[in-house]
Amino acid sequence: MAWRCHGNTHRELIDNLQRAGLLRTPRVIEAMKKIDRGHFTVEGPTSAMSYRDSPQPIGYNATISAPHMHCEMIELLEGHLKDGAVALDVGSGSGYLTAVMADLCSPTGRTYGVEHIPELVEMSQANAEKSCPRLLASGCLKFVVADGQMGLPDAECRSLKQEGKEMPLFDAIHVGAAAAAIPDSLLHQLKPGGVMVIPVGPKGGDQTLMKLTKDAAGRVHRENITSVIFVPLTSKEAQLADDNSTKVNLLSLMLSSLRGQGE
């Protein structure tokens, strides 16, 4: 399915994703149109490479996920990304999906991107400055350097609580890297009624995209959505170790994307 969605421009890519049924909700389509993927890739908006439906390396053994995977994630979360909602993007990488989430929660909501590689946070900040400076200036979008397995760091949580909001904080959580097991800290930070989407499984294969919904009583309901391959949610040291298994993992991820499976 994935190869059908390539475009030469951002508009063409969005039209093809819509035609393929991967983008369905009008307000999601509008948000994705506003946030040009070309501002978040290494190649930039003048290269057709930016609009291919595949993951692309962004350095530091990370990738910007494929457009069809961004669509799958955002459509799963859409009902919880409303004006005023508070959202978290763990492993925000290029910052693309964080910006789309922030647009959907604006003008009064907030979206945090948490990423453990400081250089990627700088890059995502610069990408968003080019693409959607209004979201940054208004405080609707913020990138934070931290280990996302622990959720949003305390200092940021405190600033939210000072505005009168109590823990747990998030209406929607997106995790953009595969967790070996669902991190408790993320479940704790999910509000009753909130939804988290997270790839779960071992590095390099047999991962399942899961949708977790917390009900009003705090019980968590799990749904398996599809098989996926994502880079691992791991420590900074493990990610940066320039070993062959990381390279093989990135290669298999790009190949599986051609089959419509990878991130």
228 is an interface residue for ligand SAH by CB under 6 A: no
End-to-end Cα spacing for the chain: 13
Comparing CA positions, the residue from 205, 194, 198, 204 lying closest to residue 183 is: 198
Please pick, from the candidates 74, 101, 177, 229, the single residue that binds ligand SAH as defined by CB under 6 A.
Answer: 177
Confirm if 62 and 231 have CB atoms less than 8 A apart. yes
Stretch that binds ligand SAH, among 2-10, 63-71, 134-142, 199-207 (CB under 6 A): 63-71
Catalytic (active site) residue 252: no
Give the total of residues touching ligand SAH (CB under 6 A): 24
Comparing CA positions, the residue from 184, 181, 186, 182 lying closest to residue 169 is: 186
- Nearest CB to ligand SAH, comparing residues 137 and 238: 238
At residue 96, the 3 state secondary structure works out as: helix
At residue 29, the 3 state secondary structure works out as: helix
Please report, as residue ranges, which positions from 110 to 129 form the binding site for ligand SAH (by CB under 6 A). 114-117, 120
Closest distance of CB 64 from ligand SAH, Å:
4
Confirm if 129 and 97 have CB atoms less than 8 A apart. no
176 is an interface residue for ligand SAH by CB under 6 A: yes
At residue 92, the 3 state secondary structure works out as: coil
Which listed residue (50, 54, 65, 124) is catalytic?
A: 65
Closest distance of CB 201 from ligand SAH, Å:
14
At residue 210, the 3 state secondary structure works out as: strand
Question: For binding to ligand SAH (CB under 6 A), which residues are involved?
Answer: 62-65, 91-94, 96-97, 114-117, 120, 147-149, 176-177, 231, 233-234, 239
Which residues have a catalytic role annotated? 65
